[in-house]
Every structure is written in structure tokens, then in C-alpha cells.
Amino acid sequence: MKLNWQFILDSLPLYRDAAWITLKLGFWGILFSLAIGLICIIAQYFRVKLLRSIVQVYIELSRNTPLLIQLFFLYFGLTKLGIALSENTCAIIGLSFLGGSYMAEAFRSGLEAVSRSQIESGLSIGLSRAQLVRYVILPQAFSVGIPSIGANCIFLLKETSIVGAIAVVDLMNVTKDLIGMYYQTFEALFMLVAVYLIMILPLSIFLTWLERKVRYAEFGNQGSV
């Protein structure tokens, strides 16, 4: 199999633009997911009435349906009811809708890892509520939650590959067009895989490293309890 390098070189700008769109959508998706996740976990942790039940329903809906259907529903379904959204907005809303529940679960696993005795000990030595959150709960919750938050970021970045289905000019659509127009199948697929590797491999390696660091902290933590 011989690759046509000239073609690959020529297609670079197309892939660069598409990768940029993917990263942009991914960035906003991750940001809003974090925000939604935070709202969900606050509602659950402090047992806010009503909001807590809404959050529960939302998490189940979001975790048990595929992103593609969520996007189709948003993009094609809601338009017919008079809510017209641009494809990029739809993609970001879809990603946030999906990611929010995953982030909420990550936060929750972190918070649940802080044992009751830690909180009670904090209170008994006279820490205020704010101090308790700042010095006892958050540091421990973070060390447990960070790996799953990172994994969710990678997950969401990978999920952006689907937004092409609602006409966003993303990496998948560029690839499909190049295959369709020029029959340069291998070159286009090579670029597609390469771009995803370049985007996600460093993140994945960084995450593995971070997880090891965090495990280390966790271990010391358990020893002292």
C-alpha cells in the first residue's frame, strides 16, 4: 500500500480546520459538562428538594441514551417544534447534556470517598463549614475524582466524532468527502487516525501519569486513617 503524500500534504489545511472545530466543540462541551455536573452534585449533596429529583431523572436519561439520538432529537426534532438551533450550538448542547451526568458521577465518586469520620473529625476540632470544605473535603474528593474527570474529558473529546452526523464540518465529514470526491481512501483514513492520535494520545498518557500520582496520595491517606 503506497500513500500519496502530496495528497496528504494538500489535505492538511482541511484537517487542521476540522480538528480546530472538534477541539472547540470539545472545549465548550467539557466546560458546560463540568458546570452541569457541579449543579447536579450540589443539588444531590445538599439534598435540594425538587431539583434533586430533576437531576436524578436527567442523569438516568443522559447516561442511558446514545449521543447520536440526543443530537438528532435536538437538531431535527426540536426544529419542527419551532426551536431552531445551529448545528454547532446543537453539538455543544448535546455534548453538555451527555457529559454533565458523567461529570456529576465523577464528582460524586470523589465526594463519597471522603469518609464520614473525616468530616466529623474536622467539625470536632472546630473547623467552620467553609474550612471543612476547603481543607478536608475538597482535597480528598479531588484526588479521587480527578482521574475520572480526566477520563470523561477524553470520552467527550472522542464523542465529538459523532457531531458530523448533524452537518458540522468535522474530521469525519472531511474524511468522507475526501474519500467520496478523490477516492484517496487510505490517505484520508490515515490522516483521520493520525489527527485523533495527536489529539488524544498525549491526553491519555498525561492522565495515566496523573492517576499514578493521585493513587500515591490516596494510599498515604488510607494509611493515616
Partner 1 sequence: MQSLGIRVLFNVKNIRRLLEGLMVTARIAFISILIGSLLGVVLGVIWTAKRKWIRSICRIYLEMFRIIPIFVWLFVMYFGGTTALNVDLSGETVSIIVFTLWGTAEMGDIVRGALKSLPQHQVESGKAIGLGFWELYRYILIPQAVRRMLPGAINLATRMIKTTSLVVLIGVIDVIKVGQQIIEYSRIEIPTASFWVYGFVFILYFAVCYPLSKLSRMLENKWNR
Rounded to 5 degrees, what are φ and ψ at 47? 50, 55
Q: Which is nearer to partner 1, 59 or 136 (CB)?
A: 59
Query: Toward partner 1, which CB reaches closer, 34 or 67?
Result: 67
**Part of the chain binding partner 1 (CB under 8 A), chosen from 40-48, 77-85, 109-117, 131-139:** 77-85
Four-residue CA torsion sign, 207, 213, 214, 219: positive
Q: Which residues contact 192 (CB under 8 A, 6 or more apart)?
A: 15, 171, 172, 175
- Residue written as cell 493521585? 214
> Judged by CB under 8 A, which stretch of 128-136, 142-150, 172-180, 217-225 contacts partner 1?
172-180
- What is the DSSP secondary-structure string of 174-225? HHHHHHHHH--HHHHHHHHHHHHHHHHHHHHHHHHHHHHHHHHHHHHHHHH-
Distances (CA, A) of 114 to 35, 46, 48, 52, 219: 22, 15, 20, 21, 13
| 35 sits near partner 1 (criterion: CB under 8 A) | no
Q: How many residues bind partner 1 (CB under 8 A)?
A: 40
**Which of residues 11, 33, 70, 101 is near partner 1 by CB under 8 A?**
70
Is residue 92 within 8 Å of residue 170, measured between CB atoms? Answer: no
Identity of the residue, 43 or 178, whose beta carbon is nearer to partner 1 in the bound complex: 178
Residues numbered 181 to 210 that lie near partner 1 (CB under 8 A) are: 185-186, 188-189, 192-193, 196-197, 200-201, 204
Residue 95 found at the interface with partner 1 (CB under 8 A): no
Site for partner 1 in 112-171 (CB under 8 A): 154, 158-159, 161-162, 165
Task: Select from 23, 56, 66, 84 the one that contacts partner 1 (CB under 8 A).
Answer: 66
The answer to whether 225 contacts partner 1 (rule: CB under 8 A) is no
Nearest alpha-carbon partner for 212 in 125, 155, 146: 146
Contact predicate 160/25, CB 8 Å: yes
Binding site for partner 1 (CB under 8 A): 1, 60-61, 63-70, 72-73, 76-81, 154, 158-159, 161-162, 165, 172, 175-176, 179, 185-186, 188-189, 192-193, 196-197, 200-201, 204
